[in-house]
Amino acid sequence: MPELPEVEIMTRNVRRWCDGRRLLGAELLDPALGVDLSGAIGQAMGPARRRGKYLCQPIGAQVLVLHFRMTGKAVVESSGPRKHARLRLRVEGSPPVAFVDTRRLGTAALLPAGELDAFFAAIPMGPEPWPEPRDGAWWQQRLVGLRGHIKGALMNQARVAGLGNIAASETCYRARLDPRSRVPALGAADWDAIAAAVPAFIEHVLNEESGPEIAYINEGRGAANPFDVYARAGERCGRCGGAVVRIVQAGRATFLCGGCQPRR
């Protein structure tokens, strides 16, 4: 499922496929997506950028905003039309670019460029945790006042943008924190560990998953698991040899090592 690093990879891909080219046509293959690009045909496409888990593609004076939810992805149809494509962009000098979404949970919006900041402010969405360096004091300040567990706090999009269920589990593992630790119980060393863990996780995923198409491990297509603990219940921790276990927090699966992630 796409989170900050996966959306960053797709944004880089779309930028390579579309930047500086004209939109020659658009096919809305799933009317439920509810976006009308007819007025954007013939317009130049600018460099795509990411905001949190959203991909923003400028087209003339408008911006196409995609949110991928559970199974969405942006792909280039170099080998023909793709199954489960919901939206297809015909791009000058490039194979079509498609929004593929098996479970049809993703969303799209076409906005005037000047309304993009207001769109995100209304969600609301906090600042980005990457690539700008963020220290432990920054993380503590962003999550101050939250009383729940640290994993849920890391996923709070109003506080920090882009980290989802997988990223939060992996961050806690890298920071040697039990994801059930309460936010008020964390000390300065814990916040410093989180500050180091988040960019390390993001850059690891960028290195492991970058390519023309993201492969999600829940797709059942033999995608390699690039994560340290996520979806590895029953395996041995690569750091201490302890058992990786699966628990449920707020209805979401959490993976951790019981041997080297002490609870605060």
Angle between helices 188-209 and 136-143 (to 10 degrees): 100
* Confidence band for 217, pLDDT divided at 50, 70 and 90: confident
Nearest to 197 by CA among 224, 177, 226: 177
* Cβ pair 74, 10 in contact under 8 A: yes
Nearest to 208 by CA among 220, 217, 218, 221: 217
Nearest to 75 by CA among 29, 122, 127, 14: 14
Residue in this structure with the two tokens 């995923």, named with its chain if needed: 205
Between 34-43, 87-96, 196-205, 207-216, the lowest mean confidence (pLDDT) is in 207-216
Q: Please state the length of the chain.
A: 264
State the average pLDDT over residues 131-138: 98
Per-residue pLDDT tens for 229-253? Answer: 999 999 999 999 999 999 999 999 9
pTM of the model: 0.95
* Confidence band for 135, pLDDT divided at 50, 70 and 90: very high
pLDDT value at residue 223: 72
Q: How far apart are the C-alpha atoms of 33 and 210, rounded to whole Å? A: 27
Alpha helices in the chain (DSSP H): 4-18, 116-121, 136-143, 150-154, 165-174, 188-209
Burial 102-115 (b: 16+ CB within 10 A, else e): eeeebbbbbeeeee
pLDDT value at residue 210: 95
pLDDT value at residue 1: 79
Q: How far apart are the C-alpha atoms of 117 and 56, rounded to whole Å? A: 11
Contacts with 76 (C-beta within 8 Å, 6 or more apart), sequence order: 13, 17, 94, 95, 96, 97, 98, 212
Query: Does the pLDDT value for residue 221 go beyond 60?
Result: no
pLDDT value at residue 95: 97
- The domain limits of the chain are 4-121, 136-225
Class of domain 136-225: mainly alpha
Query: Does the pLDDT value for residue 222 go beyond 70?
Result: no
Query: Does the pLDDT value for residue 220 go beyond 80?
Result: no
Tell me which residues are annotated as active site: 2-3, 53, 252
The one-letter code for the residue type at 210 is S
Q: What is the CATH number of domain 4-121?
A: 3.20.190.10
Per-residue pLDDT tens for 41-64? Answer: 999 999 999 999 999 999 999 999
Q: What is the full DSSP assignment across 96-158?
A: -EEEEETT---EEEEEEGGGHHHHHHTS------SSS---HHHHHHHHTT--SBHHHHHT-TT
